[in-house]
Amino acid sequence: MREKVIAYVVRRRAQRIQLLVFDHVGMPEAGTQVPAGTVNPCETPVEAVLREVSEEVGVADPEVVAYLGQYCYFSAGRHEHHLRHVFLLTPPAPLPESWTITVGGDGEDRGLLFHCFWIDVAYAAAALAGEQGLYLDPARCAELLPPSVHRRTTMSPLPSSVYRVGVLL
């Protein structure tokens, strides 16, 4: 089973919580997605989610607010089972309403163009492809998200399942 990560990057805007999503430019069949990807060998899920957010949407140094959980997913297109770790994150500073980025890193999506934008978290779960919205609960996001989402100084405790030999995964 391959370990994967899913990133819910959120912000408060006009009394609403918004989720950062992207569409593949020129590939509408891919659907609307959130940053996500594979945990590389010798990489922890926390390291992987931070890397994926940077590579796929260009947000460096996001803050992990909470580990929301994990679930098993069968990728029919790849014929493999995934263990998905889901995280709630905030950006380090205000971001624009939308932008387009060329995906970095060395993964299979390197070089693709992603159009990034924000959607209301209340409607996001139904809009996301590949069951990526399974852990997206607007009430829980509101509860976990501090009033000011930039540079929160403490993180919600992570369950022991994301630690390995005392090291945060």
The CATH number for 73's domain is 3.90.79.10
Is 152 a member of any domain? no
Tally the domains of the chain.
1
Domain assignment of residue 63, given as a range = 2-147+157-168
DSSP 8-state class, residue 165: T
Is 12 a member of any domain? yes
Please count the CA atoms within 13 angstroms of the CA of 6 that sit on its side-chain side: 26
Quick one: which of 49, 46, 52 has its CA closest to 161?
Answer: 46
pTM for this predicted structure: 0.85
Tens of each residue's pLDDT in the chain, 169 residues: 889 999 999 999 888 999 999 999 998 899 999 999 999 999 999 999 999 999 999 999 999 999 999 988 877 677 788 899 999 999 999 999 999 999 988 888 899 999 999 999 999 999 999 889 989 999 999 999 877 655 444 444 444 444 433 334 3
Is 126 a member of any domain? yes
